[in-house]
Amino acid sequence: MKSKLKEIFTVDPYQEMNSDSPGEVCNLLKGEWIQGTGFREDIPDPLNGEPFLKVPDTTEYSEFINSLDSCPKSGMHNPLKNVERYLMLGEVCAKSAELLREDEIEKYFCKLIQRVMPKSDSQCLGEVTVTRVFLENFSGDNVRFLARSFSNPGNHLGQESSGYRWPFGSSCIIAPFNFPLEIPVLQVMGALFMGNRPLVKVDSKVSVVFEQFLRLLIHCGLPPSDLDFINCRGQVMGELIKESKDKIRLLQFTGSKEVAEKLAVVLRGKIKIEDAGFDWKIIGPDYDPKWSEHVAWQCDEDAYNASGQKCSAQSLLFIHENWEKDLIPKLRKLALKRKLEDLSIGPVLTWNNTQFLDHVNSLLKIPGARCLFGGKELANHSIPKVYGSMQPTAVEIPIKELLGKSFHNVTKEIFGPFQVIVVYEDSDLPIVKESLEQISQNLTAAIVSNDVVFQQDLLSNTINGTTYIGMKARTTGAPQNHWFGPSGDPRSAGIGTPEAIITTWSGHREIIKDVGPLDQKWVVPDIS
C-alpha cells in the first residue's frame, strides 16, 4: 500500500487478502484494538474459495457486556450535557469525507468492498459515494442542528416548556453483509450524533470493511472509546444480547425477518428493524415505445444489480399486457449480458445453488408457471459451493394463481438474482392490489406510469417506505437523502436523513421550567 494508506489502514486488499497473506480483523473494546485469540476458518474468498480473512471468533463477551455500563441513560452527550461533542462529530464527518474524496482512499474502499462482497465497479463506487455524501451532509454544525428543540410559553410568567431530543445511552447495532460500508457507517454515525454509545456487530464475511473505516474515523478524531466493535457468530451475539437485555436500551437490526422477530421478543420491543424487502414494481397501462428501452434497463438494474442482494431489489414485477410483447424479450436480452468477468453478476453469499433451484422448481409446479430466462448455474467459475452462482432468473406466475395457496411461497424473499413476473390486464387490477395488501415486507416500491389517476389509485391503496412513481421509477438505489426503511411497522428504522436519525436514535423529552414570581395573593390551598 502507498504511504498514506499505510498510515491509516492495516489491511491491503491489493496485495493481501489471500491464502498466503490473509487480512486480519480486530475487535475494538473500551478504546483498544484487540486481536482475536481464535479466528473463523469458514470465511472463504467468494470468488475462489481460498481462505482470505482472519476474523475473531469471539466467544468470551463478558467485557463487552461490562462496557455497556460506561454510558449512562442520559447518553454520551445531550442538549444539556457535553454539547461540544456535537461539533466534534461534525468535524470528524468533515475530515472523513475529505479523505474519501482522495482518489487512493476512494479506490481503497471500492477494492475492499469488492473483495468481500463482489459486485461491479460502479456498484462499489456508488456505495463509497453515498457514504461520503452522508458524511458531508453532517459536517460542521449540522450534527448540532439534529438536536434542535422547541419552546412554548407557559401558563404564567416565568414558566416555559422545552422539548428536547434525548439519547437512549447504551445501544446495539447489527449490520448486514450486502452494503458493508454504507449501512454500518450511516447507522453508527446516526447513533453517535444523537449521543448514544453503540456496540456494533457487522456480518463477519464483510466486517473488515467497517473495521478499516473505523480506523479512518479514529484517524480523523473520533474517540476510540465512543463505541465497541465485536466479531462473533450469530449465536454468540444472540447470547450476548440475551444476557445484556436490561443494559441495551435500543437495538437497530438489519437482516432476516426470522432473526428480527426473535430479537424483538428478547429485548421486549426495544428494537428498530429493517428486516426484509419483497419489493414490487408495477408497470402501468400507458405503454409508450419510446420508453421501453429505459424501462427494461431499469427493471434489469433493480432486479439483478449486486446479484439481487439488496433489500430493495425488485422481487415482484407486474407488467401490464400492453407492455408484455415488447418488454419481456428486452429483459431476457439484458439478463444474458450480465457476466461474472465484470461482476455484473456474481456470488450469492446467503443462498447456495441447491436452495435457489429448489425454490425455482417449487414455483414451476404452480399451474401455468414458466421460467422466462435463467434458472441455471453460471459457467466457468470457481465460486465455492457454500455460495450461490446462478444466472439472472425470472419465473412467470399467472395472475389467476397469485392469491392461491402458493402466495406465501411466491412472495418469499430470495436474496439473489431472482424475480417473479406477473402479466395483468385492466380487469386484474383488484387482484394486483389485494396481493400488495397481503405482502408483509413493505420496503420499497415503484409505479412505472405517467398516468396520474393510475398512480393515485395505487398510492392510496398501498403502503411502502421509499416509493418511486413515473416512467423512471425504480426500487433500488434509494439515495441517502431519502428516508429509507420499511413502512407500516412501528419498529421501522430508516437511515440517512435527519428525520430517520432523530426518530430512530432519540426520544422526546419535555422539560417544564417554572421560575416565576410567587403570586402575592397566594395562600395555602384548602386540602378539603
Whether residues 121 and 248 share a domain: the answer is yes
Q: Does a structural domain hold residue 150?
A: yes
Do 356 and 260 share a structural domain?
Answer: no
Shortest CA distance to 307 belongs to which of 212, 249, 238, 383? 383
Whether 503 and 451 share a structural domain: no
Per-residue pLDDT tens over the stretch 397-409: 999 999 989 999 9
Instruction: Clarify whether residues 118 and 246 are in a common domain.
Output: yes
Residue 191 included in any domain: yes
Q: Are 113 and 165 contained in the same domain?
A: yes
- Within a domain: residue 528? no
264 and 298, same structural domain? Answer: no
Asked if the structure places residue 523 within a domain, the reply is no
- 519 within a domain of the structure (yes/no): no
| Mean pLDDT score, 314-341 | 97
C-alpha cell at 29: 473494546
The rounded distance, in Å, linking the Cα atoms of 291 and 237 is 48
| Same domain? 131 vs 217 | yes
Measured CA to CA, the distance from residue 103 to residue 123 in angstroms comes to: 17
Query: What residue type is assigned to position 385 of the chain?
Result: K
Contact 399, 317 (CB under 8 A): no
Provide, for the chain, the percentages of residues in helix, strand and coil under a 3-state DSSP scheme, each rounded to the nearest 5. Answer: 40, 20, 40
Q: Which H/E stretch holds residue 197?
A: strand 197-202
Regarding pTM above 0.85, the answer is yes
Residue 517 in any domain: the answer is no
In tens, the pLDDT along 364-394 reads 999 999 999 999 999 999 999 999 999 999 9
Count of domains forming the chain: 2
Is 265 inside any structural domain? Answer: yes
Judgement on whether residues 141 and 164 belong to the same structural domain of the protein: yes
Q: What is the pLDDT of residues 478-508, one digit of tens each?
A: 655 556 666 666 677 777 788 888 888 999 9
Helices (H), 395-444: 407-410, 429-438
56: domain CATH number?
A: 3.40.605.10
Q: How large is the C-alpha radius of gyration of the chain?
A: 25
Contact 161, 149 (CB under 8 A): no
pLDDT digits (tens, 9 = 90+) for 251-268: 999 888 889 889 999 999
Does 80 lie in the same domain as 168? yes
- Residue partners of 45: CB distance under 8 A and separation at least 6: 17, 18, 51, 52, 115, 384
Return the exposure string of 238-276: e unless at least 16 CB atoms fall within 10 Å of the residue's CB, then b.
bebbeebeebbbbbbbbbbeebbeebbeebeebbbbbbb
> Do residues 203 and 177 touch, judged by C-beta distance below 8 A?
yes
Give the burial class of 483: count Cβ atoms within 10 A of its Cβ; 0-12 exposed, 13-18 middle, 19 or more buried.
middle
pLDDT of residue 482: 58
The verdict on 201 and 176 lying in the same domain is yes
- 495, part of any domain: yes
CATH of the domain at 329: 3.40.309.10
Beta carbons of 471 and 448 less than 8 angstroms apart:
yes
- The verdict on 200 and 347 lying in the same domain is no
Give the structural domain span for 64. 3-273+486-508
Q: Are residues 436 and 419 in the same domain?
A: yes
Give the mean pLDDT of 423-438: 96
Question: Hey, which residues are catalytic here?
Answer: 274, 311
CA-wise closest residue to 480 among 504, 505, 463, 500? 500
